[in-house]
Amino acid sequence: MTDLETRVVPSGSVTLRRAAPALLGYAAVRALGLLALALWSAARDKNAYTLLTARWDALWYTRVAELGYGYEVRLPNGDVHSNLAFFPLLPWLERFLHAATPLSYGDAGFVVSLLASLAAAWGIYAVADHVYGRRAGVCAVLVWAVLPVGIVQSMAYSESLFTALAAWSLYAVVTGRWVTAGALASLSGLTRPVGLAVVAAVWTAGVASLLRDGEARPAVPFARNRSTAPGPGARTPERASKATRVLGMLLAPLGAAGYVLWAGHRTGRGPLGYLDVQAGWRNGFDGGYAFARFVAAKFTSFPSALAGLGLIVGVALLLWLYVVCVRQRQPLPLLVYAGVVLALALCASSYFGSKPRLLLPAFPLLLPPALALTRLRTSRSALVVGCLAVASAVYGAWWLNGSGPP
């Protein structure tokens, strides 16, 4: 299904200069989204910056940064919302910036998200450029930027930070930098529970690489294109030693495992205590049963039936995109990562309104539409992206001033 061939990597392929068009385009889309949010919020007599930094999960992260763990809210129905549900890397960074600068915890969260979103865009570019070329890299970043819920990338949430760590970990995997991949996977596991997807990608790639050690072809970086000819200044990455690959694999799960075990100890319920914390938030993995019931309930009346139909179409589109990714023979680590993110988002019993933002890190699913854009003339692809950017900006402003991401 996936070729384990050496992809000749141009020297400096992820330099800032090479990625500059993608990053500038990304910054322009995000600036448009923030402008639309500011105008919409002003018209509704709301503060756009407050919507970005001091609502929903952003408040939980700043509380952890300021007061540490141990805070919980008991709801009338008996549910217990504990801040142990929130992984620590973002609060740690907020606390560091607050201590090192005059920024408040909320301001620090916004700065971290801003910088992390650029790092995520750069990482997405690096992966797409490595697999499909520079033009595909630029288009992949722009498609990620114009997602309907792209405004979350500018919020003091952990999605941008996680996507940055995941993208660069996957880039390290497909280019054979195993220790870097493992270290970044470990950090992603300190950011969100879905860090499991990055760990799975590193482990699957590592096992596949080790299994091929005895074959004629060396186990070297993953790539789709067998026939890329060396360009000026091109180099072939050296084969990583078995010890290096094993070390990267061992590093990958340390962050998530360490926090989950610590949280379980903190609850006094042992290794599985973190699952109890998630249960207090009504979060769990039920194979999609709760989500299916939620969708089915939409068909009890005509207006909501349209929303139910839209949800079915949306899920079908996501599954179709994943099938296309497989048919296009994306590198194995990308397929594993995207598959796990997709499964955790769709099959979790968490609040259903949060599912769109939970899918934000699944950027490999965006490579097929990015490739489709590369086949258009530059003027046409720019027009398509421009229209989508306007629609995304308007939707994000409306959404954040309404129900928004819980």
Arithmetic mean of pLDDT over the chain: 88
pLDDT digits (tens, 9 = 90+) for 286-297: 777 788 888 888
pLDDT tier for residue 238 given thresholds of 50, 70 and 90: very low
Q: Given a cut of 50, is residue 151 above it in pLDDT?
A: yes
Burial (CB < 10 A; 0-12, 13-18, 19+), residue 138, is: buried
pLDDT tier for residue 3 given thresholds of 50, 70 and 90: very low
Q: Above pLDDT 70, what percent of the chain?
A: 90
Q: What is the pLDDT of residue 308?
A: 84
Largest Cα–Cα distance of the chain, in whole Å?
67
Radius of gyration, alpha carbons of the chain? 21
Mean of the pLDDT values across residues 214-224?
52
The SS3 assignment for 10 reads strand
Indicate the DSSP class of residue 47: -
Among the listed residues 158, 160, 204, 161, the one whose alpha carbon sits nearest the alpha carbon of residue 181: 204
Q: Which residues is 235 bridged to in the sheet?
A: 9
The CA–CA distances, whole Å, from 293 to 9, 195, 347 equal 47, 27, 12
Residue 239 and residue 3: Cα distance in Å, rounded? 16
pLDDT digits (tens, 9 = 90+) for 86-101: 999 999 999 999 999 9
Place of tokens 């928004």: 404
Residue 401 and residue 41: Cα distance in Å, rounded? 7
Q: Which residues is 223 bridged to in the sheet?
A: 4
Q: Given a cut of 90, is residue 20 above it in pLDDT?
A: yes
Among the listed residues 275, 245, 239, the one whose alpha carbon sits nearest the alpha carbon of residue 260: 275
Q: Above pLDDT 90, what percent of the chain?
A: 70
